[in-house]
Every structure is written in structure tokens, then in C-alpha cells.
Amino acid sequence: MTESDTGRRVVASHGIARRAFRLAGMFAAVAAVWALVVLVRGGSWWGPLHSFLAGTVLAAIAGASQMFTITWSASPAPPSTLATAQRLTLAAGTIAALVGVGARLPVAAWLGGGLLVVSLTLLAWSIRRTIARSLLRRFDFSSRFYLTAFACGAVGVTLGAILGGGEAGAAFFRLRLVHSHLNLVGLVGFTIIGTLPTFLPTMAHHRAVSGWEAKVGWWLVVASAAAMASGLWLGQRAVGAGTVLAGIAALAVAAGIVVRLWEKGRRKLSFVQVAVGVGWLAGWAFVDGVALVIGGTPEPFGRGTLVAVTAGIGQVLLGSLAYLLPVVAGPPLDANLRRMTRRPAIPLVAANLAGAAGVAGFHEASAALVAIWVADFALRVVGLRRNRL
């Protein structure tokens, strides 16, 4: 591959990520406003959570996974029309689902679910197409996690459309449980686990590292996906067992990297925040999974889920973006990285105190800390030099 080919590939991958991150930011703003309304006026957390997870997190996953696959497989970028179609179906599907469920319009809920499944299918096709055209096999392993995650998401979203369309009937609670776990643990969690062996070392300025724990993590993820999906027939204990297996996989893969690279990574905000976020997610998976196995009552939008989303997924997301946004924004890279990672105490303390307050049930305090954390992050992004986001 010539230098000009490499340059075009990098520019194309950054463009895909940049546009996806803009979309993620739009849904993050919607989620923030919606969460404020719930705090002030009361109501269900379904709306803010789904705007954040289906809109923000899924858009970020789409942009980052395509960027990583193109970059680390040294393969040409997919056609721009494919990335555009994937992004538009994601946006339209999320909006239709939010409106359909919020306004109790079954047709809109079904439309939203269908468009999100199309979006995930296009994303899987993009990743698979990129890997197939690569002469390097170094990213094949991570792509397995991605494709498994997207398959879990497609099933989970389909179940969500059945729930939103009012077709679940007597199976409502079982479908809701499997839906939430295939999306939160499968789609989001498996993507994170698969990215860790390459991305976490990159943030520590080190080559990719992985050992036996990554291979074990892969088989645990396969078993986790099968167990959670089987919950449709076997009930909540199967879902709980799958959730625990995913927690073990996340902890094993992250711990293997952190132990090897702690001296290099401990002074870098992105590295620490992603590692700590994975720790919160693994902790939630153990608590939630064990509770389901022993017969506890599922709480789809309860305290545990909110903590997993904020201190877990939120830290992984914003920690990753603190590194990725300067990369896709363009030069001066060093100055932008310094801006996104200076004063690390603010995001680390705010994020983790928000998680602790959520565990203790102090929702107002947790929300205030999240607001401080997000405001600090937004100010860093706004101040990026030559920002093309």
C-alpha cells in the first residue's frame, strides 16, 4: 500500500468517525435534557436511557468500530454511501423508537426497531467487508467480538420492537429482561471487551498486548450470548448466568492489559477512565447476574442500571472520546490531547462519585456530579484547536 493510499484510508476512517460522533453528541443532548425533565417532574428513565444507549452509545460504537477496523486492518474504507446509510438508519430508527414508545404509537415503534436492525446489519456488513479486504489478520480477533455484539443487538432491538409495539402479551417481563441484557451486556459490553486489547494499549502509547485471557474472554462471550438468548425459554437464571460470564470476560481482558501496562498508563486520563469504567461494568454484571440467578426481581431501569450506564458505560465512552476526538479533529494533535486530558481529577472524581452516589440511592447528588463531569467534557471539546467536529 502506497503512502497516498494510507493517507486516503486514514482520512476516510476519520471522516466516518467524526460524523458518527456528531450524531452521538446530538442524542447525548437529548438524553441530558430528558433526564433533567425526569429529575424535576418525575417519570420513567426509559427515555433518557434509550436516547443515550440507542443514540449516543450506538452512534459512537458505529464510528469507532469502523475507524478501528479500517486503521488496524490496513484495509480500504467502505464506500461512503454505506457509512451514510448506516448512520441515517440509526438516527431515524432511534427517533422513531423514542417517539413510538413515548407517544404509544406501535407503528412508529416497529418502524424504529426495523430501522435500527437495518443499521446494525449495515454496520456488520461494513466491518466484515473491511476485514475481508485486508491482507493483515491482526484485527480479525476483535472483529469477532464486534460481529457477535451486533448480532446480539439485532435480536435485542427486535425484542424491543415487540415490546414497544404492544405484542409481548404474557411474555412481556421475560422479553424485556432478555432485550435489556442483549443490548446492554451483548451489544455494548461485547464491543467494549473486543476493543480493549488494541485500544487500551494505544492510549498508553504501547503496542497491542493480549494473552490467554483474551482467548478465554472470547469463549466466555460466546457462552454469555448463548445463555442470555436462551433466557427467552429458560428464564431469568439463564440471563443471569450469561451476565456473570460477560462480567468475568470483561474483568479478565481488562485486568490482563492493566497489569501489564499500569506503569505506562496510570498517568493518562483516558487509560485510567476506560479501565475504571470497565471495572464498574464488571461489578454491575456480577451483582445483577447473581441476583437473577438466585431469583431476585429484575429492575430494568433501577439503581443498578443507572450506575452501570453512568459510571460504567459513560466513563468508557467519554474516556475513549477524550483520546479519539483530538485524533479525528486533526492537528495540532499534542495540544488537543493535552487539553482533553489535563486536570484529570475533575472527570475521575465526578464520574466515580456519581457512581457511588447512585449506589447509595442519592440520585440528585449523582445527577449533579454527572452534570459537572459532562460540562467539563463539553468545555474541553469546544476548546479543541482547529476542531472539525
Q: Are 192 and 250 in contact (CB under 8 A)?
A: yes
How high is the pLDDT of residue 195?
92
pLDDT in tens, 247-284: 999 999 999 999 989 888 888 889 999 999 999 999 99
By the 8 A CB rule, do 285 and 241 touch?
no
Q: What is the mean pLDDT of residues 321-337?
A: 88
Which one is predicted more confidently, 207 or 113? 113
* Predicted pLDDT at 4: 57
Cell of 262: 499500569
Phi, psi of 39 (to 5 degrees): -65, -40
Span 197-219, average pLDDT: 84
Per-residue pLDDT band at 332 (split at 50, 70, 90): confident
With contact defined as beta carbons under 8 Å apart, do 107 and 100 qualify? yes
Chain mean pLDDT for the chain:
90
Residue 5 has pLDDT above 80, yes or no: no
Q: Peptide bond before 332: cis, by omega within 30 degrees of 0?
A: yes
- The model's pLDDT over 182-204, given as tens digits with 9 standing for 90+, comes to 999 999 999 999 999 989 888 88
Write the pLDDT tens digit of every residue in 61-104: 999 999 999 988 888 888 889 999 999 999 999 999 999 998 89
Q: Is the pLDDT of residue 6 over 70?
A: no
- Any idea which of 4-13, 89-98, 269-278, 317-326 has the lowest mean pLDDT? 4-13
Kindly calculate the radius of gyration of the chain based on its CA atoms and give it in whole angstroms. Answer: 20
| Residue 237 pLDDT | 96
DSSP codes joined into one string, 191-218: HHHHHHHHHHHHHTT------HHHHHHH
Cα separation, 157 vs 160, whole angstroms: 5
Instruction: Find out whether the peptide bond into 106 is cis, omega within 30 degrees of 0.
Output: no
The yes-or-no verdict on residue 386 having pLDDT over 70 is: no
Cβ pair 358, 338 in contact under 8 A: no
Distance of CA 171 to the CA centre of its chain: 28
For residue 300, CA distances in Å to 309, 337, 382 come to: 12, 37, 34
Q: What is the pLDDT of residue 71?
A: 87
Res 264: pLDDT? 86
